[in-house]
Chains A and B, each alone.
Chain A
Amino acid sequence: MVYISYIITMSQPTVPTLDFEKELIELEARIDQIRKLAKENGVDVSEQLAELEARATDLRRDFFANLTPPQVLQLARNPKRPSTLDYIQVLCDDWTELHGDRLFGDDLALVGGLARLGDHPVVILGHQKGRDTKDNIARNFGMPQPEGYRKALRLMEHANHFGFPIIALIDTPGANAGLEAEERGQGEAIARNLQRMFAFDVPIICAVIGEGGSGGALAIGVGDRVLMLEYAVYSVVAPDSCSVILWRDKKHIEQAASALKITARDLKQLGIIDEIVPEPAGGAHCEPQTAAASLKNALIRNLEELLKLSGTERREQRYKKFRAMAAFNG
């Protein structure tokens, strides 16, 4: 019942409303106005209009090609951005959600199950943010408890046991920080996932679709391939917290966002991610179907490449890939 609302959102593109887009929206509104006026007065301005519209399109493309890290952060956190369940509806057939960690409970902030991606049966899982306030409370804003990570591990063990590839979609502000999380071993749950993900010989593809928040993101982020949507972010610490810790105030979020190198482009350069998945101009929420098609294409292409390797080769390459992620002299 929950995901019916997600399908509806997927088919209804939303108008972007971020601060930095206002200029563009105003220009587009003016074009509309001119068109209306021309029509009412019977004046032919189609040539001028076409020119203006072309300019607006260019402007939009340029604008989104040169977003600053704080702007990308805003886009990545946009509550209208498609979530894991939104993508699963479009990416997969035969989606069968599975629940629970067999130890404590079922965490709605991390969902997963069986599905078919193209011709391939897979285990697909991911962090799940809420669509509205009520949903967000149920899903804890996409911040899993230890049982969420243990559910993910159980599903991944299932995948490895039956030979299903693992697809993990990352979208969380971070692992839940709280009394119960500490009591039930949040640190242990994340650590165990990191270790076990190097033991599996089935293909693992991870995709950061929105917010990649620190250890809570990495806990399902050890992949043979790590993809990242164009306007997603992935960070060791939320820029907000980084500002408080290093600058000792909340005013330096923008500096922190830039300094931490959290965008897909920066992380590709640092060798942290393997591929940037293009999004429609304006962001995935403007044309969710296009974004999902783009992601599906990248997932299937990478999966088919990985399926050509043996399990041992995949494990070795995964180890080597992460082995290289360090910067030092000597």
Chain B
Amino acid sequence: MTLLEWFKDRRKNASMSKEQRHREIADGLWTKCAECGALHYTKDFQRYLLVCPACSFHEKVSAPERIAQLVDPDSWIPTDDHLLANDPLSFVDVKSYKDRLSQARAKTGMNDAILTGLGTLEGQPLALGVMDFRFLGGSMGSVVGERITRLVERATAERRPVILVCASGGARMQEGMLSLMQMARTSAALQYHREAHQLFISVLSNPTTGGVTASFAMLGDLIFAEPKATIAFAGRRVIEQTLRQKLPEGFQTSEFLLKHGFVDRIVEREQLRPTLSRVLRLHRPVGVPSPLSPATRL
């Protein structure tokens, strides 16, 4: 093989592999890290819980995946999955809310931006709600509010700890004031949960903003955050526009909130399940078996 032939060959191979790589990404065989661009086999990436092994960037996790990561296999009992948003304002902007809803349902296979249910974590009973950013930006409308409220009420009655994993752009504008009221309703249910001396742990994932930050996300007895998640009340762009001021590096990240005293710990995804398990165990009254264990349940 002449040197020229070798070059030709290489160029051909390079272009082929590029096409091939393209196809493989489209097929979902490969996943590209949104932060550093490193390519990983999707199966590996899932094994790493969607955390990039090169730069440890925590990719967004869908609600079904998160539930699978946290609860014991076969312990999950979904609650209130039949609730459907019903467009109370007949809201239309450039698209109708009805269309936005059906598209989001088709894209995610979910009925709204949250999954709720009961399950166990290393054998310990809990009530879990997980938001999903893919569904209309994880926005909180009536259904999200109702499912959280019902979950917390049930957990209070059954003396289960509540864990809510947050991922949200804030209130769902298309439901107008009804969406704002979900901040009050979820906070109300958590007040009664608190009075019953039941634990609520809030887990903040990327991103947690707006009305969710200004309600249950910040009401955890304990608040854990994933590394480098955006956690904010007002969006960065909004602040930059109104203040005409460049914001410092790392502003509104988990680390920023930790420094200012608003989260308890930053927990890497790999450590989330063991950390939650340890903390749940520590909160269980000494010598008192879980109220849900078969011995006391009758």
- In this assembly, does A198 line the interface, its C-beta being within 8 Å of a C-beta of chain B? yes
- In this assembly, does B142 line the interface, its C-beta being within 8 Å of a C-beta of chain A? yes
Query: Smallest Cβ distance from A4 to chain B, in angstroms?
Result: 31
Specify which chain B residues have a CB less than 8 angstroms from the CB of A187 in the assembled complex.
Answer: 213-214, 217-218, 232-233, 262
Specify which chain A residues have a CB less than 8 angstroms from the CB of B173 in the assembled complex.
Answer: 236-237, 242, 245-246, 260
Specify which chain B residues have a CB less than 8 angstroms from the CB of A194 in the assembled complex.
Answer: 183-184, 187-188, 214-215
In the complex, are the beta carbons of B184 and A218 less than 8 A apart? Answer: yes
Specify which chain B residues have a CB less than 8 angstroms from the CB of A188 in the assembled complex.
Answer: 218, 262
Given the known interface contacts A191-B217, A260-B173, the answer about A325 and B245 at a Cβ–Cβ threshold of 8 Å is: no
- In this assembly, does A179 line the interface, its C-beta being within 8 Å of a C-beta of chain B? yes
How many residues of chain B get a CB closer than 8 Å to chain A's CBs?
61
Q: Which of A179, A183, A267, A328 has the most CB of B within 10 A?
A: A328
Given the known interface contacts A177-B233, A259-B89, A272-B178, the answer about A198 and B187 at a Cβ–Cβ threshold of 8 Å is: yes
- In this assembly, does B55 line the interface, its C-beta being within 8 Å of a C-beta of chain A? no
Mind listing 9 A-B residue pairs with CB under 8 Å? Answer: A178-B234, A191-B187, A198-B184, A198-B191, A215-B233, A236-B179, A328-B85, A328-B146, A329-B83
Question: What 0/1 readout, one digit per residue, does chain A (156-187) give for beta carbons within 8 Å of chain B?
Answer: 00000000000000000001011101111111
A187 to B217: give the CA distance in the assembly, Å: 9
A237 to B187: give the CA distance in the assembly, Å: 20
Query: Smallest Cβ distance from B128 to chain A, in angstroms?
Result: 20
Specify which chain B residues have a CB less than 8 angstroms from the CB of A178 in the assembled complex.
Answer: 234, 239, 242-243
In the complex, are the beta carbons of B251 and A179 less than 8 A apart? Answer: yes
Specify which chain B residues have a CB less than 8 angstroms from the CB of A182 in the assembled complex.
Answer: 232-234, 239, 251-252, 256
Question: What 0/1 readout, one digit per residue, does chain A (259-293) give for beta carbons within 8 Å of chain B?
Answer: 11110000100101000000000000000000000
Name A residues whose Cβ lies closer than 8 Å to a Cβ of B. 175, 177-179, 181-188, 190-192, 194-196, 198-199, 214-215, 218-219, 221-222, 234-237, 241-242, 245-248, 252, 255-256, 259-262, 267, 270, 272, 319, 322-323, 325-330
- In this assembly, does B121 line the interface, its C-beta being within 8 Å of a C-beta of chain A? no
Specify which chain A residues have a CB less than 8 angstroms from the CB of B143 in the assembled complex.
Answer: 326, 328
Specify which chain A residues have a CB less than 8 angstroms from the CB of B233 in the assembled complex.
Answer: 175, 177, 181-182, 186-187, 190, 215
Specify which chain A residues have a CB less than 8 angstroms from the CB of B36 in the assembled complex.
Answer: none
In the complex, are the beta carbons of B83 and A323 less than 8 A apart? Answer: no
Question: What 0/1 readout, one digit per residue, does chain B (89-114) give for beta carbons within 8 Å of chain A?
Answer: 10111100000000000000000000
In the complex, are the beta carbons of B178 and A270 less than 8 A apart? Answer: yes
Residue pairs across A and B with CB atoms within 8 Å: the count is: 186
In the complex, are the beta carbons of A329 and B84 less than 8 A apart? Answer: yes
- In this assembly, does B171 line the interface, its C-beta being within 8 Å of a C-beta of chain A? yes
- In this assembly, does B271 line the interface, its C-beta being within 8 Å of a C-beta of chain A? no
Q: Which residue of A lies closest to B92 (CB)?
A: A259
Given the known interface contacts A179-B239, A179-B247, the answer about A260 and B218 at a Cβ–Cβ threshold of 8 Å is: no
Query: Which residues of chain B from 223 to 273 have any CB-CB distance to chain A below 8 Å in the complex?
Result: 232-234, 238-239, 242-243, 245, 247-248, 251-252, 256, 260-262
Specify which chain A residues have a CB less than 8 angstroms from the CB of B216 in the assembled complex.
Answer: 191
A183 to B145: give the CA distance in the assembly, Å: 27
Given contacts A218-B181, A329-B83, 4 further A-B contacts (CB under 8 A): A175-B233, A214-B171, A322-B185, A328-B85
Question: What 0/1 readout, one digit per residue, does chain B (142-184) give for beta carbons within 8 Å of chain A?
Answer: 1101100100000000000000000000010101111111111
A165 to B143: give the CA distance in the assembly, Å: 33
A115 to B180: give the CA distance in the assembly, Å: 30
- In this assembly, does B297 line the interface, its C-beta being within 8 Å of a C-beta of chain A? no
Specify which chain B residues have a CB less than 8 angstroms from the CB of A260 in the assembled complex.
Answer: 89, 173, 176-177
Specify which chain B residues have a CB less than 8 angstroms from the CB of A328 in the assembled complex.
Answer: 83-86, 142-143, 146
Q: Which of A195, A272, A327 contacts B190 (CB 8 A)?
A: A195
Specify which chain B residues have a CB less than 8 angstroms from the CB of A262 in the assembled complex.
Answer: 176-177
- In this assembly, does B219 line the interface, its C-beta being within 8 Å of a C-beta of chain A? yes
Specify which chain A residues have a CB less than 8 angstroms from the CB of B262 in the assembled complex.
Answer: 185, 187-188
Query: Smallest Cβ distance from A67 to chain B, in angstroms?
Result: 18
Specify which chain B residues have a CB less than 8 angstroms from the CB of A186 in the assembled complex.
Answer: 214, 233-234
